[in-house]
A and B are shown apart, each in its own frame.
Chain A
Amino acid sequence: MIIPVTLKPPSDDGRKLPPQLANLGNGDLVLIELQGTLEVQGSTDPQFVGTMEIDPKTNKPSLVIGPHFLEGKIVSLPTPLAIMEKNKSPSNDQMSGMDVDDDENREETGVEWQISAIVRKKVVFAKRPMPILNRPVSNIGKK
């Protein structure tokens, strides 16, 4: 069995990362590391998770999720990472216009992985969250 690994061509849908996060690697993806997991109840359909902020002076990130405040840092990765994305339906992308036989061959070989981005830095929130007491969410970041 053989699974091709290719480079994803740069997307041109006009979407860009916020400028504060744009220098963490090349490509439009960032890594945010959290201790533990995000527990989600119910559906994850377009759901707001939290607000992140990067202090332009100290370059320290902070994250507020509900009543939790997390302090983090931006860490350089010892080894750069490629973020690979499973190519969901090759037949819809480049394969359109090809005849049915080719499409069937394609399915035999299975999926394809595309390298969407290379990241050299990640945002890490490794500390335990601190509770925010009696503060409305709009006041995040204040101490």
Chain B
Amino acid sequence: MAESLPHGGQPIQLAFSPTSAKESGNFRLLELPPDLLKSIESNNGSPLTWAIKGDPTEDAVLCTDDKTYSIRSISLSNSVLIAGPGEAQDQIIIQDTNRELLQVAPVLPKVHRLAGLLRGREYDEGREDLDDDMHDDEQATQSQQQAKKGYLTYAQALTGIQASEAELTKALKDRRILLLNGTLRPIAASYLSTILELLLNSLVSLQQKHDSASVKLLADTLQDDHDIRPQVTKQVMGWFGDVDERQWKMEIPSVLKQVGIGILKSYRHDPIDEKEFLDKWRNAVGDTFASQADLSLLSGNYLVSTKPQSHPPSNQLTYFPSSELPLEPLARFSDLFLTRSRWKAEEIAPFLDDIAIDRKERDKLLLKYARALTTPGGTYYTSRTIK
């Protein structure tokens, strides 16, 4: 080791590595926001399972176990040498020279692609096309066969869709997609309503508590009386509550919401009286839960209008699901303003929730794509396009 220089510091020899020319481009610098840093540092023992996902036609994203991030390359004006230890203790070797930085930002997972990938793959009553009595060891090969038939498997979805595994699992739950023999099958909406109404009725008739109902008893009852596969019933229970080995803790609001949407669906073109709708809805969910059926559960799924020439004035509801609106902000706003020329702030908000990651981003979208009008009656938003 070299002797101390007058500065007092030990000199460090900087050198190129024998392979540095070949290895050029082998390193990337990735900015780590606090949550990513935490995810690495709290990673004790279990292997890190991040992945960069994307087809050549898409912008790549970084997926952790539970989040998705966009990746942006920032050019640097300076060059950054990446150096590592050398043969000698006082030597460092330049491994690579880098002039860019990868910056990540949280984004919504691209789970919307599921809709297109699963078109025509619905699972409905009376369309029994999968073999029920299958043993576990046959399922893997079965899954491959299904893939050949054009069904999307879970593994394919995980590779092909820009989302983390936790987000994909949540999307399957939110979008009511069944996992049957390794393939993804969206459940038909009417069939889902039927199952939920049967579950609500069975809870009452079997005298089960909604927060500790027997999974087996309900699944068996639905199979025996209505020919619904237990595999399906159990997944439906999981979407609408917590299922452990034996008990189902039902989430009342989400069940009521789904049943409500099922009824509302028929009123896409012709509106229904608010009162008439509430009666139908409460009737469908039964006396026990009727009092909890509140319109606020259905926010983002309907439009309210006032019935012309009625005394006293009464409200009418039209089915208008935000899930069917375009995802591109510009297209969504133009659709919204075609539907209505002006919106109250609290009316438009539910229709932006699924394209904005938080309130701040929603306000940004409104600022960019809509014109705010402040009146004594509150803030209204209108189109920026001049007609």
Interface residues of A (CB under 8 A from B): 1-7, 15-21, 28-38, 40, 43-57, 62-63, 79-86, 88, 113, 115-116, 118, 122, 124, 126, 140-142
Q: What are 12 A-B residue pairs whose CB atoms fall within 8 Å in the complex? A: A6-B49, A6-B50, A7-B40, A15-B87, A16-B85, A33-B79, A36-B78, A49-B94, A51-B12, A54-B12, A115-B30, A142-B5
Q: How far in angstroms is the closest Cβ of chain A from B132?
A: 32
Segment 37-68 of B: residues with Cβ below 8 Å from A: 37, 40, 43, 47-56, 62
**B101 adjacent to A5 (CB under 8 Å):** no
Q: How far in angstroms is the closest Cβ of chain A from B86?
A: 7
Known: A18-B90, A20-B12. A53 touches B48 (CB 8 A): no
Q: Is B140 an interface position by the 8 A CB rule?
A: no
**A122 adjacent to B80 (CB under 8 Å):** yes
B contact residues around A79 at 8 Å (CB): 31-33
**B84 adjacent to A28 (CB under 8 Å):** yes
Interface contacts (Cβ under 8 Å), in number, total 187
Tell me the bound Cα distance from A93 to B90 in angstroms: 29
| 7 tightest A-B CB contacts, nearest first | A5-B50, A15-B85, A44-B16, A3-B52, A53-B9, A32-B81, A82-B30
Q: How far in angstroms is the closest Cβ of chain B from A52?
A: 5
Q: Is B267 an interface position by the 8 A CB rule?
A: no
B contact residues around A49 at 8 Å (CB): 14-16, 94
Segment 81-132 of B: residues with Cβ below 8 Å from A: 81-87, 89-92, 94-95, 97, 101
Given A35-B78, A82-B29, A83-B30; 4 other pairs, CB 8 A cutoff: A29-B95, A38-B81, A62-B7, A122-B80
Tell me the bound Cα distance from A6 to B54 in angstroms: 17
**B21 adjacent to A43 (CB under 8 Å):** yes
Residue of B nearest to A64 (CB): B11
Tell me the bound Cα distance from A36 to B80 in angstroms: 9
B contact residues around A52 at 8 Å (CB): 11-12, 14, 92
Contact for A83 among B6, B29, B97, CB less than 8 A: B29
Contact for A53 among B10, B80, B89, CB less than 8 A: B10
Known: A18-B89, A44-B16. A53 touches B11 (CB 8 A): yes
Residue of A nearest to B52 (CB): A3
**A53 adjacent to B15 (CB under 8 Å):** no
**A126 adjacent to B78 (CB under 8 Å):** yes
For chain B, which range describes its interface: under 10, 10 to 19, 20 to 34, or 35 or more residues? 35 or more
Q: How far in angstroms is the closest Cβ of chain A from B32?
A: 5
**A5 adjacent to B52 (CB under 8 Å):** yes
A contact residues around B315 at 8 Å (CB): none
Q: How far in angstroms is the closest Cβ of chain A from B39?
A: 11
A contact residues around B82 at 8 Å (CB): 29-31, 83
Contact for A82 among B9, B32, B53, B86, CB less than 8 A: B32
**A82 adjacent to B8 (CB under 8 Å):** no
Contact for B27 among A5, A19, A53, A86, CB less than 8 A: A86
B contact residues around A28 at 8 Å (CB): 84-85
**A18 adjacent to B12 (CB under 8 Å):** yes
Tell me the bound Cα distance from A31 to B92 in angstroms: 11
Q: Is B70 an interface position by the 8 A CB rule?
A: no
Q: Which among B20, B43, B55, B80 has the highest number of chain A CB atoms within 10 Å? A: B80
Tell me the bound Cα distance from A32 to B81 in angstroms: 5
Q: How far in angstroms is the closest Cβ of chain B from A59?
A: 10
A contact residues around B7 at 8 Å (CB): 53, 55, 62, 141
**B80 adjacent to A140 (CB under 8 Å):** no
Tell me the bound Cα distance from A2 to B27 in angstroms: 18
**A46 adjacent to B32 (CB under 8 Å):** no
Q: Could you give, for residues 200-222 of chain B, a 1 whenever the CB lies within 8 Å of some chain A CB and a 0 otherwise?
A: 00000000000000000000000
Q: Is B28 an interface position by the 8 A CB rule?
A: yes
Q: Which among B14, B18, B40, B49 has the highest number of chain A CB atoms within 10 Å? A: B14
**A63 adjacent to B14 (CB under 8 Å):** yes
Q: Is B374 an interface position by the 8 A CB rule?
A: no
Tell me the bound Cα distance from A124 to B60 in angstroms: 30
Known: A6-B47, A32-B80, A81-B101. A17 touches B92 (CB 8 A): yes
Known: A3-B52, A46-B18, A79-B31. A20 touches B9 (CB 8 A): yes
Residue of B nearest to A87 (CB): B26
Contact for A81 among B6, B12, B31, B90, CB less than 8 A: B31
Tell me the bound Cα distance from A81 to B92 in angstroms: 19
